[in-house]
Structure 1
Amino acid sequence: MVVRWEAGSGIAGMPILLKDNIETRDMPTTAGSLALIGNAPGRDAPLTARLREAGAVILGKTNLSEWANIRSSNSTSGWSAVGGLTRNPHALDRNACGSSSGSGAAVAAGIAPAAIGTETDGSITCPAAINGIVGFKPTVGLVSRTHVVPISHSQDTAGPMTRTVEDAAVVLSAIAGSDPMDAATAEADARKVDYREALDAGSLNGARIGVMRFSMGYSRKTDAVFEENLQRMREAGAVIVDITEGPDMNAMGAAELEVLLYELKADLNAYLASTDPEQVQTRTLADVIAFNERTPRELALFGQELFIQAQAKGDLTDPAYVEARATSLRLAGAEGIDGLMREHDVVALIAPTTGPAWTTDVINGDHYAGAASQMPAIAGYPHLTVPMGFVDGLPVGMSFIAGKWEDAKVLSLGYAFEQLTQAMRSPAFAPTVDVAETLAPLLAPLAR
């Protein structure tokens, strides 16, 4: 069979890659772990089935940060024991971010026009921005999580990673919808729309957009690119509103981690129990921890301290969990996105998604400076990143964030921004940015 697909032609025939924590009936699903190397239960996740029914062509699985980057706080993003290290196609010594590292790098490299990633906090938007593509994290509950290896039922969602906002809208329209096996999606059928039809290249004109100034400063050069793009948005008719103060991010982050550890234990145990015991011998998180201890490749680069912390937690009736979830949700939602949008009378919030890609360091782990992902991740609200330019040859993105179920609006604003900038470009597969014409002369000694 010959598959023909052209950009902008819709979902039928579109080649799509899936992150290797999403089940397919014809391939194993490993989450990057040797503990799941035989996990092939012969079932499609509902989102996979929706793609097939819409006519998409599933090309294969992409590497990811192992266990979606929840095993260790000192990890190297893009590495898994199964897939090895994913490299950034713009500079091969740079990181692809995570945990949807392979999805971001593959789309940027032109292997496929679209991939599905998953996000708990930043795992779609960071690799999309750092690899120079579009990434969209939908409202939690718009897309089914059934048969996707989990971290957190409060924050997990799958979403499209593509070369254009239009393609992201096309893919989202295919995968969105209610799933009786995922209670969070009960409203999805009533909430979903044709996201491609909702795109409006003029949507920035007259729109009041809030700039999260408190979510900047982790990359001076990225901030400069961001300011240039704010001016383009003003010229397109957007009203730019500076927001200098946000919620207590330290308290939010501490509460979020507590929630993720509790839910990781509960949700991963439930997933493992659903697998075939002949294919997967690790039936609980405790079993996975023990497996890793006796498997040298698993712990050769970094440890599993977050797994161990999660295993020590109680169940989801524990008052510490209940309080942490209430605190994180209040700070990210009512006092975060919802409060900021209401107080400043804006239709969306924007910020640099994150800085440019850091040099991969398998000795010391990631050098991650910060990102705009935390509030929408915790609140479960939509978050889109769109390429906005380059820093010394490395792509950087702009984030668009709004309230629950405002996915169509976020995509439309990002689409209008994309039409202004057209900042996406194919990677050079350079060995390093040190050879970039802006940098190479500065790294050589001054001729005397």
Structure 2
Amino acid sequence: MQTLTQLINGELSGATTIKISEGLDTFPGQLFELTDTLEYLDLSSNKLTTLPDDFSKFKKLKVFFASDNCFTVFPSILGRCDNLQIIGFKSNLITHIPNDSLHPNLRWLILTNNQISSLPASIGECSKLEKLMLAGNKLTALPKELADCGSLALLRIAANHLTKLPEWLVSMPGLAWLAFSGNNMINQIKGESFATVNIDQFQLRQLLGEGASGTIFKATSIDVNNQDEVAIKIFKGSVTSDGFPEDELQTYLAAGHHPSIVKLKSVTELDDQGKKGLVMELIPPHFYNLGKPPTLNTCTRDVFDKGFKLTDQQLFEIATSMASVGAHLHERGIIHGDLYAHNVLVDDAGKTLFGDFGAASSYDKRDLALAFHLERIEVKAFGFLLDDLLSLCSADISAFDELCKLRNLCLSENQHLRPGFNEILTELTLLRSS
């Protein structure tokens, strides 16, 4: 992170990346001295309300973040920034998006946690848009023009005021990751009953990780007769990029037991205001994340450590386990919404554990058309996972060509050509035994 003083003193001359967070209430004019070099600008956590009319002078700017500011209107000038591909205005006060503010070159638009009630029809002109984050707004409907965004792969519309998912939306050919919990939709979800325990019954130890919805700690029960080590996820309590923590909890409860889903042991009360957390089994230390989250460059695709490889045994073990999880969840009317390698934990034998229900949503299984489309959306995500697995293996592994055919079916633009998870599971089992 740089400082305003450095900028004013000319110490940042020629910079390609700038991040300044100092409670600014006006745009620093000195930044215009970097119009020939600046590619990444982050002015998050300030008090900005507007951008200058000549902001489009930043001809090389590709990434602009202005989260946690005070904008009430999405700046129209951004629609004239030809090279700008990634824009983030999370946690502002935006109520209006002008029709001319969205450039067709946009790939990733983050508008989480604002007060937006409608999207402009011009969003349909964003043919390169891959990732759209709209959780925590006031949307009551989606414009039909969104269907023209043929590259859209990931959509977050949780925690809004939607009453249904349009058929044109759930049948979009590129969509692979969808989160829509926390809306006014009918669902038939019913979670299992779990004992509720007080957080005071545990001693929190080391931090294991932190995600959008909460923080995970290693913990030990203070009961001298039962000092098993567990993992406790403490929800942050506010809307996240995926939705409400309460919906994550309810969907996790409804997921039930599966050998490849991280086991939920109990629900814990955090305070007298009803905030909750999850007590989960502690994952053995020899497990590791299969992949790493997408970067700004890859947008919707995971990345992997250089030189990381899988054996055919590991590939089949992971693919079969994840197909089984997919079948298990959709039989219960749950779309996970975040089926990614970076959410998959594996060991050297390929044993697989899966969790993180932050983007999970429930749906009415009695609506057969909706159930079909939502499962095929998740199957596309599985197709990308299988593509990742194949890229990490040698092309001479057993049944490589057949696995490529299965991958291609899962990634088909035509949802009706994609198999269901039970069909995928059957095919993988046959290929593995052949």
TM normalised by structure 1 equals 0.28
TM normalised by structure 2 equals 0.28
Structure showing greater radius of gyration is 2
- Normalized per residue, which structure has more helix? 1
Task: Select the structure with the greater relative contact order (CA < 8 A; seq sep ≥ 6).
Answer: 1
